[in-house]
């Protein structure tokens, strides 16, 4: 029986282990997680009668992988969309005040979040010449080129921080927001493209006799995203070990291609190993095996993020 060791019990490691067991029932899949609990950045807690998330609070339905995973775990009928009210009332802490984010044309025009120069830049974005050639660019450069410096520094920065917790000047627009780059390439502008793409979607849905969907929605469970982690854990057949920090990966001998070494004397022989932990952890695990690869992986920048939850 081939053995796979997955290092990291966050959503990536657990979902991969589940899919491997599902697709190749003969595999023995072992998940090793450093912390005492599974889930990585995902975690739902209840305190003083409030249920809150310590990390992500939902997932968007633009990528079907999480949606399908929920279906395969039998959780489809427990999914609930984020409240429309919450979606329409988002605020940005700017210039010492909470400022409401515009959600449409009227609120954009009356909003005090942006200067008139930036409002004009946004309204006329569809008339800016598209970039027809050249490679990838950062989210920050894209926002400056398509709109204004102010929009790049406030709105784009807030969205990037909110979604990826990353520096927009370092993040590739094609990797992080491929839709934006596609809209510019296909329709010549982002705002014009959004309108045309929505019109096309409506026409196609009507032609198929399907209900017209309004924009993207964020989904979670009444029990919180922790339900996804608990269900994955319950469905995995192979061992899932917590409190096991992997320290090193070594080439194996005759019996196994790899030896996965834990903190103490523990060792797991494996025919394949998946590192589903952060880049800096992967780098430490790979250091003795391939110093060049370890150095490359170590270059992936990570940010520190603090989540503050208010219950009232």
What is the contact surface with ligand FAD in residues (CB under 6 A)?
7-13, 32-35, 40-42, 55-59, 165, 245-246, 276-278, 281, 305, 307
Considering the complex, state which of residue 114 and residue 249 has its C-beta at the smaller distance from ligand FAD.
249
Considering the complex, state which of residue 30 and residue 147 has its C-beta at the smaller distance from ligand FAD.
30
Considering the complex, state which of residue 34 and residue 144 has its C-beta at the smaller distance from ligand FAD.
34
DSSP strand E in the chain: where?
3-7, 28-33, 44-47, 50-53, 59-60, 79-81, 91-94, 97-100, 218-221, 240-242, 246-251, 258-262, 267-270, 272-275
- Nearest Cα residue to 226 out of 36, 54, 2, 5: 54
Kindly state the smallest distance separating residue 19's Cβ from ligand FAD, in Å. 13
Kindly state the smallest distance separating residue 78's Cβ from ligand FAD, in Å. 18
Kindly state the smallest distance separating residue 187's Cβ from ligand FAD, in Å. 26
Considering the complex, state which of residue 192 and residue 278 has its C-beta at the smaller distance from ligand FAD.
278
**Cα torsion angle, 62, 68, 58, 243, sign:** negative
Q: Starting at the earlier edge strand, list the strands of the sheet with 59-60.
A: 59-60, 218-221, 79-81
- Is 44 within 8 Å of 251 (Cβ atoms)? no
> In the numeric block, which tokens belong to residue 223?
């029990």
Kindly state the smallest distance separating residue 242's Cβ from ligand FAD, in Å. 9
**Cα torsion angle, 241, 244, 248, 250, sign:** negative
Considering the complex, state which of residue 34 and residue 146 has its C-beta at the smaller distance from ligand FAD.
34
DSSP secondary structure string for all residues of 52-82: EESS---EETTSHHHHHHHHHTT-GGGEEEP
Considering the complex, state which of residue 80 and residue 195 has its C-beta at the smaller distance from ligand FAD.
80
Q: How far apart are CA 101 and CA 98, in angstroms?
A: 9
Kindly state the smallest distance separating residue 222's Cβ from ligand FAD, in Å. 17
> In the numeric block, which tokens belong to residue 99?
């400022």
Kindly state the smallest distance separating residue 114's Cβ from ligand FAD, in Å. 24
Kindly state the smallest distance separating residue 149's Cβ from ligand FAD, in Å. 27
Considering the complex, state which of residue 108 and residue 284 has its C-beta at the smaller distance from ligand FAD.
284
Kindly state the smallest distance separating residue 280's Cβ from ligand FAD, in Å. 9
> In the numeric block, which tokens belong to residue 147?
């709109």
Considering the complex, state which of residue 32 and residue 256 has its C-beta at the smaller distance from ligand FAD.
32
- Is 50 within 8 Å of 68 (Cβ atoms)? no
Cα-to-chain-centroid distance, residue 284: 24
């Amino acid at each position: 029986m081939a053995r796979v060791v997955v290092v990291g019990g966050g959503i990536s490691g657990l979902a991969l282990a589940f899919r491997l067991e599902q697709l190749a029932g003969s595999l023995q899949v072992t998940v090793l997680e450093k912390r005492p609990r599974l889930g990585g950045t995902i975690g739902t807690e209840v305190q003083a009668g409030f249920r809150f998330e310590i990390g992500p609070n939902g997932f968007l339905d633009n990528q079907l992988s999480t949606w399908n995973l929920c279906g395969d775990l039998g959780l489809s009928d427990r999914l609930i969309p984020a409240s429309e009210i919450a979606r329409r009332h988002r605020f940005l802490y700017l210039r010492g005040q909470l400022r409401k984010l515009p959600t449409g044309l009227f609120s954009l025009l009356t909003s005090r979040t942006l200067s008139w120069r930036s409002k004009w830049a946004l309204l006329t974005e569809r008339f800016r010449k598209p970039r027809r050639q050249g490679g990838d660019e950062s989210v920050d450069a894209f926002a400056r080129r398509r709109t204004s410096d102010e929009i790049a520094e406030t709105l784009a920065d807030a969205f990037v921080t909110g979604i990826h917790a990353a520096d927009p000047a370092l993040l590739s627009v094609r990797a992080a927001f491929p839709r934006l780059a596609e809209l510019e390439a296909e329709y010549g502008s982002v705002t014009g493209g959004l309108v045309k793409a929505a019109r096309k979607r409506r026409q196609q849905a009507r032609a198929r006799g399907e209900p017209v969907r309004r924009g993207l929605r964020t989904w979670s469970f009444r029990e919180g995203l922790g339900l996804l982690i608990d269900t994955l854990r319950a469905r995995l057949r192979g061992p899932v070990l917590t409190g096991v920090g992997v320290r090193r990966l070594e080439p194996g001998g005759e019996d196994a291609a790899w030896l996965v070494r834990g903190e103490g004397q523990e060792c797991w022989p494996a025919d394949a190993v998946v590192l589903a932990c952060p880049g800096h952890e992967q780098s430490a695990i790979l250091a003795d095996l391939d110093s060049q690869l370890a150095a490359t992986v170590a270059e992936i920048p990570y940010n520190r993020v603090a989540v503050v939850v208010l219950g009232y």
